Amino acid sequence: MKREALFNNTFPFELQKLYRNKLLKLVYGRGLGVQMKFSFSDYISILIHQTDLTLTNGIKTKLSPLNLAPEQNLILMLLWEQDGLSQNEIAKGLNKDKTNIARMINSLEKKGFIRRQCSKTDARSIHIFLTENGKQLSKMVYPIIEEFNRTVRSGITQEELETAEKVLMKIRQNVGQ
**What digits encode the pLDDT tens for the residues 163-173?**
999 999 999 99
Percentage of the chain surpassing pLDDT 70? 77
Give the single-character DSSP code of 86. B
For residue 32, give the 3-state DSSP assignment.
coil
pLDDT of 1 reads 43
Least confident of 15-29, 43-57, 126-140: 15-29
DSSP letter (8 states) at residue 121? S
List, for residues 127-164, the tens digit of each pLDDT value: 999 999 999 999 999 999 999 999 999 999 999 999 99
In the predicted structure, residue 9 carries a pLDDT above the cut 80:
no
pLDDT of residue 24: 55
Q: Could you give phi then psi for residue 127, rounded to 5 degrees?
A: -105, 150
- Contact of 101 with 87, CB cutoff 8 Å: yes
Angle at 98 between CA 92 and CA 100, to 5 degrees: 110
**pLDDT confidence of residue 25:** 56
pLDDT tens-digit profile of 88-127?
999 999 999 999 999 999 999 999 999 999 888 887 888 9
The answer to whether 126 and 86 have CB atoms below 8 angstroms apart is yes
Task: Read off the pTM.
Answer: 0.73
Q: What are the chain's domains?
A: 1-42 (no CATH), 43-175 (1.10.10.10)
Residue 3, pLDDT above cutoff 50: no
pLDDT, position 18:
58
Q: Identify the residue with better confidence: 28 or 148.
A: 148
Does residue 12 have a pLDDT over 60?
no
